[in-house]
Chains A and B, each alone.
Chain A
């Protein structure tokens, strides 16, 4: 099996400093955060430019060229609801280190993002969701099937280029649903499909010192069930150590005494 794919989540308009840097086209804060994430072991970087209604295409092109130019064609997840911006980003994207990821499609209003990914030979994150959060795994599976069919209709290699997101749920409020999510990851894995998701959502609202612990426990249990990727903060050391250790136990990475340092 391939190594767990860490998608760094820290380039996002939800962070005020990054939002400002995107708006003002200020490379420095963006490059700094990108480097921190890559040094910590991120494979992909998520580039969340928000809805970017005015200048999405131009902004995404700028961000893709900035990041790939400075970090040896680092592979990127293009994260925006602005379709034109994703297309513009892909038009300047270098695939040497991996296909672009379209973040994200779902089984309802955003199903066309699958078509977009297929047309551009990109990977798509497919959220197993319709209108509102799925009530159980039967419903999640139905959404997943809908999206898989859509991918196949457009000629996608669904087992490689569709990464299904079970949608991690917040423990404070939906504690009783956590095992369901983990079971769904197992179902995705048993079908031979790839998976990913915003894992730290599970610890939302918890005290700051608790979150790395809860996220690490969640990633270990999820990896046991076959999760192949997650969108996380790679600068969470405990989390990254857990991921690297799980990759060793799963034989996704060959053990060497220095495995935590590389």
Chain B
């Protein structure tokens, strides 16, 4: 009997979702193999990198980030610089300041910033909220309306506000919809089902299945992503074949390894290097677990992960 080598290529595939318009539009997903298994079948769309900027400007950022954006005085200039960052595929605008428990910026102010950023760049744009479900629902609807025609990804609809967010972004204004669950495989699937039942084309949905910095319950993140990719590919589960995007920067830069000052922890060495290490390690790990895109902020992290992806795909 002749030997038949078996390929690990699946009969199912992750859906391809395009964000942005024109030459710089990016495609997420599309693969029919496990992450980076290019020896089983070609991976047409390599994982992508988004560069995160926030509505809070640069004040709270580390020196390396401030240096990179040196001279930028407006959101438009910061955004422009972000899209030019070597290794960047898209820009992520995060409305940290919209949080009612923080700066509580008005929806109108946020929409103005979104428009300024949207008009300044040609790279695809992803919008992140402040995690307050009511405020985000209001904010996302207005931003989705203001950025019509730009094919942005709204990150994200959650269990508590998916009706409003998915209906505005996915149905009324024809943007892409992020479906966010916090490291809960059953909810990740359920949310996709519910968004589909609203009438949103499942080809317009990207999942954020949750993240954590490496070392902070990260095993759950990995097992969640593993199970989702297994369901999507080996069980051909249409409700889980959405590409995955993982916001890494906000998790990685908010753990003690990245935040403790050198004065407090001299034996840990440079604070900025620690932050970069956390960001790179977390991003590499979620990519290896199946993320189709990661959101980072430090230029060194973006360059490192970009090189990693280029070497592997």
Contact = CB atoms under 8 A, between A and B. Distances in A.
B234 A2 contact: yes
Contacts of A256: 186-187, 189-190, 193, 239
Given A98-B11, A157-B4, A255 B193 contact: no
A231 B246 CA distance: 42
Interface in B209-241: 227-228, 231, 234-240
Interface in A218-262: 252-258, 261-262
Given A254-B227, A256-B193, A2 B2 contact: no
A152 interface: yes
Contacts of A3: 235-236
A254 B185 contact: yes
B176 to A, nearest CB: 22
A18 B301 CA distance: 63
A157 B1 CA distance: 11
A254 B193 contact: no
B8 to A, nearest CB: 14
B231 A254 contact: yes
Interface in A99-148: none
Given A2-B234, A262-B239, A254 B189 contact: yes
Give the dominant DSSP class at A's interface.
loop
Interface string A34-56: 00000000000000000000000
B277 to A, nearest CB: 34
Given A253-B235, A255-B186, A261 B193 contact: yes
Contacts of A255: 186, 189
A258 B236 contact: no
Nearest to B11: A98
A182 B2 CA distance: 34
Contacts of A152: 1
B205 to A, nearest CB: 14
Interface string A144-187: 00000000100101000000000000000000000000000000
A254 B1 contact: no
B252 to A, nearest CB: 28
Given A98-B11, A152-B1, A155-B2, A257 B190 contact: yes
Contacts of B4: 155, 157
Nearest to B189: A256
B235 A258 contact: no
B194 interface: yes
Contacts of B186: 254-257
A253 B227 CA distance: 10
Contacts of B237: 253-254
B162 to A, nearest CB: 13
Given A98-B11, A155-B1, A157-B4, A252 B235 contact: yes
Contacts of B2: 155
Contacts of B234: 2
A258 B11 contact: no
Contact of B190 (A98, A155, A258): A258
Interface string B69-86: 000000000000000000
Interface of B: 1-2, 4, 11, 185-187, 189-190, 193-194, 197, 227-228, 231, 234-240
Nearest 10 A-B pairs (CB), nearest first? Answer: A256-B189, A256-B190, A258-B193, A254-B231, A255-B186, A257-B190, A254-B189, A256-B186, A256-B193, A3-B235
28 contacts: A2-B234, A2-B236, A3-B235, A98-B11, A152-B1, A155-B2, A155-B4, A253-B237, A254-B185, A254-B189, A254-B227, A254-B231, A254-B237, A254-B240, A255-B186, A256-B186, A256-B187, A256-B189, A256-B190, A256-B193, A256-B239, A257-B186, A257-B190, A258-B190, A258-B197, A261-B193, A261-B197, A262-B193
